[in-house]
Amino acid sequence: MHRNGRLFSSGTLRDYLHKNLQKITQAVDAWDPEKFLITTEADVIEELTNAFRIVVPTLDREGVGIEPLKQGYGVVERLGDSLRVAQNTVTLLVPYTGDRAIFALQPNPHMEPGPQGTVTDTEVRLAWTGQSTDHEFVRRALDERISEITKCLGWARANVNGYNAQIEQVIPQRVHARKQALLASRNLEASLGFPIRKRTDAKTYEVPLVRKKIKTESAESSTDPSFKPEHVLADADYEEALRVLKNARNQLERSPSLAGKLDEEEIRDVLLLALNSQFEGTAAGEVFNFKGKTDILIRVEDRHVFIGECKFWKGPKTITDTLNQLLGYLTWRDTKAAVLLFVREKAFSEIVSKALGKLEEHPNFKRRGSTNEFGTRHDFVFHVDGDPSREVKLAFLPFHLRQADSGS
């Protein structure tokens, strides 16, 4: 169906946006509690943000079409008499993308009266009817109508931009508040604890670690119909482990005469030595975990809390194969991982760029995280095989381990 008559005149855009903001809390609370608890906050936020975000229409002037000319008759008043005269009707079809509802709402500022037209889900129909056969005259009249609509959409866009920015703040706050309220009402501990401690003699290794009180967190799983707290490595301990690995990498990169002679297993052993020198707990290589093998595994009691894969670059397929291996043997308890890529070639930046592209191409990829200012660490979020709601934090750490005789 078409909406005939004046555009931008059925209500105010300001009131519409205000009512939408008031609906956010209701939309968050409408989620089933069990589903809400087993779905990651990021996924809930993304779904709600997509539902509430408004896209102001954009007219596609390049795609304008025209219907066949229609001839008919109309009545005009002339010197007090009603005369029946021949008329032509020209209808332009202007495609658009965006939310159709905006065409009915009055922006601030606005024009009186609003431009005339009819709107479908894909196009705006602008009709001109008159006696003139001057195509330039008709074209100018229709161009003016398009310009009026474009101006109104510009005002609407300015109104909506502020609303869209506001929902990106309000929705995460509402989602987090409800998650915390549900956890509190069930009297569940969202953090269960791991006995990872920094060694008392770690200072002799000059690793820039700042001791923090260990905080552990619960992971969220959709493999069980009800929410359960699960044992995972806290973000602070994950960051400390990654800092140890980055420090060890820096030492290796500064010692090409040593690093150039080491194979994959020997480099892994160096990294394991660095980890074990800093943490009380166990870090071991070639440890079976669910299925397959892992290169670095931090294991506390019977829990696997960090998994790292060490690989030499042998082309883009290296990344795909490594991710398939890593994500394939991650169990429901494993939520933090790392890919440590060793590069011998000189074209290091080019190889890192290719590797990042392959990481994003993987079917389990969900979104990018942050990249540090030097590009020496890139964060990603993936999901485990068969469970899109089970998120895996993955840090990508590239190592440039050149041969001593290759220009180091």
Range 241-267 average pLDDT? 87
Claim to verify: residue 178 and residue 204 sit in the same structural domain: no
Domain membership of residue 142 (yes or no) is yes
More reliable by pLDDT, 48 or 268: 48
136: pLDDT confidence band, cut at 50, 70 and 90?
Answer: confident
* Positive/negative CA dihedral, 150, 153, 155, 158: negative
Domain membership of residue 67 (yes or no) is yes
Domain range for 203 is: 190-400
Range 376-399 average pLDDT? 89
Q: Which amino acid is at 352?
A: V
Claim to verify: residue 171 and residue 262 sit in the same structural domain: no
Alpha carbon 122 to its chain's center: 27
Residues 6+ apart with CB under 8 A from 320: 358, 361, 362
Claim to verify: residue 201 and residue 298 sit in the same structural domain: yes
Claim to verify: residue 140 and residue 209 sit in the same structural domain: no
Domain membership of residue 122 (yes or no) is yes
pLDDT digits (tens, 9 = 90+) for 199-239: 555 543 333 333 333 233 444 444 444 555 555 677 777 88
Tokens 């005259």 sit on residue = 137
Residue that terminates a domain, selected from 183, 201, 229? 183
Residue that terminates a domain, selected from 183, 211, 239? 183
Give the total number of structural domains in the chain. Answer: 2
Claim to verify: residue 141 and residue 250 sit in the same structural domain: no
- How many CB atoms lie under 10 A from the CB of residue 277? 16
Cα separation, 247 vs 379, whole angstroms? 17
Phi first, then psi: what are they for 234, rounded to 5°?
-65, 155
Count helices and strands in the chain by DSSP H and E runs: 9, 19
- Strands 387-400 and 336-343 turn out to be parallel
What's the confidence (pLDDT) of residue 52? 96
Looking at the chain, the whole-number percentage of residues with pLDDT higher than 90 is: 38
Claim to verify: residue 234 and residue 154 sit in the same structural domain: no
Cα separation, 190 vs 228, whole angstroms? 9
Res 45 pLDDT > 70 = yes
Domain membership of residue 216 (yes or no) is yes
Res 368 pLDDT > 80 = yes
pLDDT digits (tens, 9 = 90+) for 1-44: 333 478 988 889 999 999 999 999 999 999 988 888 778 888 89
Claim to verify: residue 283 and residue 343 sit in the same structural domain: yes
Domain membership of residue 408 (yes or no) is no
Alpha carbon 121 to its chain's center: 27
Do 341 and 355 touch, CB atoms closer than 8 A? yes
**Average pLDDT along the chain:** 80
In 254-341, alpha helices (H): 256-259, 264-278, 317-329
pLDDT digits (tens, 9 = 90+) for 265-305: 888 888 888 887 776 654 555 455 555 566 788 765 555 66
What's the confidence (pLDDT) of residue 216? 37
Residue that terminates a domain, selected from 161, 183, 205? 183
pLDDT digits (tens, 9 = 90+) for 160-210: 999 999 999 999 999 999 988 887 776 544 444 444 555 555 543 333 333
Claim to verify: residue 70 and residue 165 sit in the same structural domain: yes
Tokens 């500022």 sit on residue = 109
What's the confidence (pLDDT) of residue 192? 44
Do 327 and 309 touch, CB atoms closer than 8 A? no
Cα separation, 156 vs 160, whole angstroms? 6
Written as one string, the DSSP assignment of 93-133 is EEEEES-GGGGGEE-SS--SSPPB-EE-SSEEEEEEEES--
Claim to verify: residue 306 and residue 371 sit in the same structural domain: yes
Claim to verify: residue 324 and residue 210 sit in the same structural domain: yes
Claim to verify: residue 199 and residue 155 sit in the same structural domain: no
Domain membership of residue 2 (yes or no) is no
Claim to verify: residue 170 and residue 234 sit in the same structural domain: no
